[in-house]
Chains A and B, each alone.
Chain A
Amino acid sequence: MDEREFDELYDASFRRLVAQLYALTGSVHEAQDCVQEAFVRAWSHRHSLDRASHPEAWVRTTAHRLAVSRWRRAVRARREPDRALAAAGVSPAPTETYVALVAALQTLPADQRRALVLHHIADLSVAEVAREVGAPEGTVKARLSRGRAALAAQLDEGSHHV
């Protein structure tokens, strides 16, 4: 991967990767930091990236691991994980719909949330999600099903409270 290819990948995927990480973490700043740090790693490991069939997936996976790692550190440090997979509301969002959706996503188990984000937001097939998370397709389908049901219930419940 040369500079031009890296810059093209960054230009093409930064926005959607931040959006996906935002959905996962509930914090746009955390999402931005993790995605940019993942691109730093990508350039550092560019020879490995050459062999990756999906460089964007490599960056996304790295960004996700960074986010999880930060969250663990936040927990270990016993501080409020305000910038790591935090509860929604710490980040600005343009509409109530998105705030509610991101907030509802944060209530789901991490595996279900990741499956939903990869399938519905990153637009990966079930098989691709299974490969990326390292789980059988059946497991991914179950996570998607349960996650969607839980998410719908959360949003429905929230709408009654408005």
Chain B
Amino acid sequence: MSDHLDIALRELGDLDPDGLGARRAPAAELRARGERHRRRRYAVTTVASAAIVAVVAVGLNVLTDSGPSQVTPAPSPDTTESTAPTTAPTGPAVDEPTPDPTAPAVQLVVPDDFPLAASYPETNEDTTPVKVTRRPGVGGLTLCGETILDSAGASAVAGTKYVGAEDYRARTLLLFESSADAIAVVQHAELVVRQCPEFDNSTFTPVEVPLGEKSFGFDVAYDAAQGDFALGLSSYLVVQVGQAVLIGSAYGESTFPNPEFDKALADDARDVVAAMADARWAG
């Protein structure tokens, strides 16, 4: 029986699909479909990159160019729009809160050796090094008119990203004046995601993230309804530990939903979250 089974299985592999009624499309047709698929994917990536560039540009307006240990105050929500890339610098906004010079200022600092890029490859696909900078790695997202995951309100920012051909990963670390502020950021982002399951041809699906003190995650599937693969799947996590918030994201092409994709993102972030718990942010 065993030999017979082996033979039958091997012969099954030798079946001619044409004899089963299969129609084999010309290779040129598949290549043409592949080219269309590739263009759509790059279009999605370009839109995402543009959003990241916009957020980074906003962040650059408020970050100083000095060393990484310096406090890098991020814009308040009220001033974010006025610092859009097309706006000429006009000095401090009238409504901008002015720090009280008599108040004891506690500088928040992301240490130079903080392992924000833990678990990332050392180099990008183009062989350039993966760096940690004082700019956000994850771009802000606008869902149903609300922007989340930007650096608004943060007192210090660090970011990193890994760029591969079909693999884009990024992290942002935000430090806030208090744990309450950090929790509020996570809660607001979660609320926005839960209230906006679909927007702009994308589907937003909350997922569990078992990390940190308060956390949540979500998947963004682009154009998922058109096929069995999402044309692009981004997975996000937002993790609060004390006054720090980690935002992580990974983009790839994948089936949707894909719990393994979400789990990998969370697993990769464990060392960072552990370091958040151990870190001293006061400069």
- Chain A residues packing against B (C-beta within 8 Å): 3, 6-7, 10-11, 14-16, 18-20, 22-23, 28-29, 31-32, 36-37, 39-48, 65-66, 68-70, 72-73, 91-94, 97-98, 101-102, 116, 120-123, 148, 151-152, 155-156
Contact = CB atoms under 8 A, between A and B. Distances in A.
Contact of B13 (A11, A19, A37): A19
Interface stretch (B20-28, B95-103, B138-146, B168-176): B20-28
Given A16-B13, A20-B13, A45-B166, A32 B22 contact: yes
A18 B22 contact: yes
A46 to B, nearest CB: 8
Interface string B1-28: 1100110111111111111111111011
A101 B41 contact: no
B30 A29 contact: no
B10 A121 contact: yes
Interface residues of B, number: 39
Interface in B240-273: 253, 255-256
Among B12, B16, B25, B253, the most chain A Cβ lie within 10 Å of the Cβ of B12
Contacts of B20: 22, 28, 91-94
Interchain residue pairs A-B with the least CB separation, the first 4: A43-B34, A121-B13, A120-B9, A18-B17
Nearest to A34: B228
Contact of B22 (A3, A29, A101, A156): A29
B38 interface: yes
A43 B35 contact: yes
B88 interface: no
A98 B18 CA distance: 15
17 contacts: A6-B31, A10-B27, A10-B30, A18-B22, A19-B17, A23-B12, A31-B17, A31-B22, A32-B22, A36-B30, A37-B228, A65-B255, A69-B228, A72-B255, A92-B21, A93-B20, A155-B5
